[in-house]
Amino acid sequence: MDKFLYGIDFGTTNSALAIYNEESREIAHTIIIPSLIYFYEQRNSDGTPNFVVGEEAISAYLNEGMKGRFIKSVKQVLSRSSFTETRIQNKRYTAADLVAIILKELKGRADSLIGENCQKAIIGRPVFFDDDNVQKDTLAQTRLSKAAELAGFNEVRFQFEPIGAAFAYERTLSKKENVLVADLGGGTTDFTYLVLNPEKANSKNRKSDMMATGGIYIGGDSLDAAFMWERGTPYFGKHTQYEATSGKRLTVPKSLFANICSWEQMNFFNGPRIKKDIEDYYYFSGKNRKFKNLLTLIENNLGYSVFRSIENTKITLSGANMARFSYQEMDIEIDEEISLPDYEQIIAKDVNRIANYLDQFLLQHHIEPTNIDSLFLTGGTSLVGSIQKLFKERFPHVNLNSGDNFKSVATGLAYSGYLFEK
């Protein structure tokens, strides 16, 4: 038997790895890094690719004046057949190549902690990578599998992320329970309903304990996009008018601003035609400086830094009634107060979609709330006040538990060694 195996939670926002010692049956270490890559503007002088991963990617992006390519939320392109490759520093990168960079970073850090080249991993995957579409889902898992191979793993199993979270929670229990697990991350919200029993924690077959799994493609990124749409885009020209023909005033089409609310779109929103359109709006709106802000934003790759401010506002509001939405860079100047009720209004549509999905999930799988013994919430987005309220309202008599919101999935994946048993 190998001595170690890795549980890897490759997340939209954060990626974690738990090292499991199969002899002592304990987690030896956990590592977590932001799922970010920054490619410098120039290759290394010897021609090799020049990039940094994780926390360092943020500082490199800011220090280099945001000139290179910043890769965020790469997990979201895994299921897109339209994404085949991207050129960076004159080299082609497929989705699997980009994911492999993050997995390799985690593997490298873990291998140096144990002093071995561990090639055995249980990798998490959301219940649905995208909407409930089998082809997209298969494509995503195939790419993730390829990425694992490129990163140096030759024995790989997949496990649903919320089942990973459940197994981490199981280790804290003293008796059998019917548990509803909700993992609310950066990209997706996943549910699983299962029987947890600490006495079965190391057993080989857990299939019969899994009663239902499901998920929806909404997470923290969606909340940040909603905020950008409502509160960010007005600084970049939404709601402004321009004079199309003499005397005829029109409002700039809202569709223009959808491009700066998501990461994927922002990456491709920098062509000469788009810039020409924005320059036209600038002149025909009487030189409204908001269009200059929009040009500054896209020409200087400021997207990540604006979204960081949005995320900070959200995180502050997870523990306070008021936060500032503040951003100053070049000629862009944003500084306003956001109250918690305002924020809750902005994200209400997404929270309702999660609530509706949850109701449908319970109905479809004939889960009676009275049969649920406890709830386990994990993932960064589970810290949002309206999300917690949603679960408290739906299940007023059920205990709401949480553990480490960012590491529980990886930990539980590492406890899933039974997947290797024949």
* Interface contacts to ligand ATP, rule CB under 6 A: 11-14, 75, 161, 185-188, 219-221, 311, 314-315, 318, 379-381, 383-384, 406
Pick the closer one to ligand ATP by CB: 12 or 119.
12
Pick the closer one to Mg ion by CB: 12 or 301.
12
CA 347 – CA 197 distance, rounded (Å) = 36
CA 20 – CA 6 distance, rounded (Å) = 6
Pick the closer one to ligand ATP by CB: 285 or 381.
381
Pick the closer one to ligand ATP by CB: 384 or 414.
384
Report in angstroms how near the CB of residue 276 gets to ligand ATP at its nearest: 34
233 binds, among ligand ATP, Mg ion, none (CB under 5 to 8 A by kind): none
Report in angstroms how near the CB of residue 318 gets to ligand ATP at its nearest: 3
CA 47 – CA 255 distance, rounded (Å) = 41
Show the binding pattern over residues 181-220: x = contacts Mg ion (CB under 5 A), - = does not. ----x-----------------------------------
313 binds, among ligand ATP, Mg ion, none (CB under 5 to 8 A by kind): none
Residue 122, judged by CB atoms within 10 A of its CB (0-12, 13-18, 19+), counts as: buried
Instruction: Give the list of residues 6+ apart from residue 295 with CB closer than 8 angstroms, or none.
Output: 275, 278, 279, 282
Report in angstroms how near the CB of residue 360 gets to ligand ATP at its nearest: 20
Pick the closer one to Mg ion by CB: 11 or 68.
11
Per CB under 5 A, 11 contacts Mg ion:
yes
Q: Binding segment for Mg ion among 9-17, 60-68, 200-208, 392-400 (CB under 5 A)? A: 9-17
232 binds, among Mg ion, ligand ATP, none (CB under 5 to 8 A by kind): none
**Sheet strands (E) in 95-154:** 120-125
Pick the closer one to ligand ATP by CB: 315 or 390.
315
33 binds, among ligand ATP, Mg ion, none (CB under 5 to 8 A by kind): none
Pick the closer one to ligand ATP by CB: 97 or 350.
350
CA 16 – CA 35 distance, rounded (Å) = 9
Q: Which of residues 167-186 bind Mg ion (CB under 5 A)?
A: 185
Pick the closer one to ligand ATP by CB: 302 or 317.
317
Give the total residue count for the chain.
Answer: 422
Report in angstroms how near the CB of residue 35 gets to ligand ATP at its nearest: 6
Number of residues this chain uses to bind Mg ion (CB under 5 A) = 2
For every residue of 235-284, DSSP letters joined together read: GGTTT-EEESSTT-EEEPPTHHHHTTTSHHHHHH---HHHHHHHHHHHHH
CA 200 – CA 211 distance, rounded (Å) = 16
Report in angstroms how near the CB of residue 314 gets to ligand ATP at its nearest: 5
> Which tokens is 27 given?
């987690």
Report in angstroms how near the CB of residue 361 gets to Mg ion at its nearest: 18
Report in angstroms how near the CB of residue 183 gets to Mg ion at its nearest: 6
Tokens 């690719």: give the residue. Answer: 49
Residue 249, judged by CB atoms within 10 A of its CB (0-12, 13-18, 19+), counts as: exposed
Pick the closer one to ligand ATP by CB: 68 or 220.
220
Instruction: Single out the residue of 218, 294, 211 nearest to residue 252, CA to CA.
Output: 294
For every residue of 36-69, DSSP letters joined together read: -EEE-SS--TTS---EEETHHHHHHHHHTTT-SE
Per CB under 5 A, 412 contacts Mg ion:
no
381 binds, among Mg ion, ligand ATP, none (CB under 5 to 8 A by kind): ligand ATP
Report in angstroms how near the CB of residue 342 gets to ligand ATP at its nearest: 16
Q: Which amino acid, one-letter code, is at 8?
A: I
CA 108 – CA 128 distance, rounded (Å) = 28
419 binds, among ligand ATP, Mg ion, none (CB under 5 to 8 A by kind): none
Report in angstroms how near the CB of residue 282 gets to ligand ATP at its nearest: 32
C-beta separation of 215 from 127 below 8 A:
yes
Pick the closer one to Mg ion by CB: 301 or 411.
411
Instruction: Single out the residue of 211, 137, 219, 165 nearest to residue 18, CA to CA.
Output: 165
C-beta separation of 228 from 310 below 8 A:
yes
Report in angstroms how near the CB of residue 73 gets to ligand ATP at its nearest: 8
What residue ranges bind Mg ion (CB under 5 A)?
11, 185
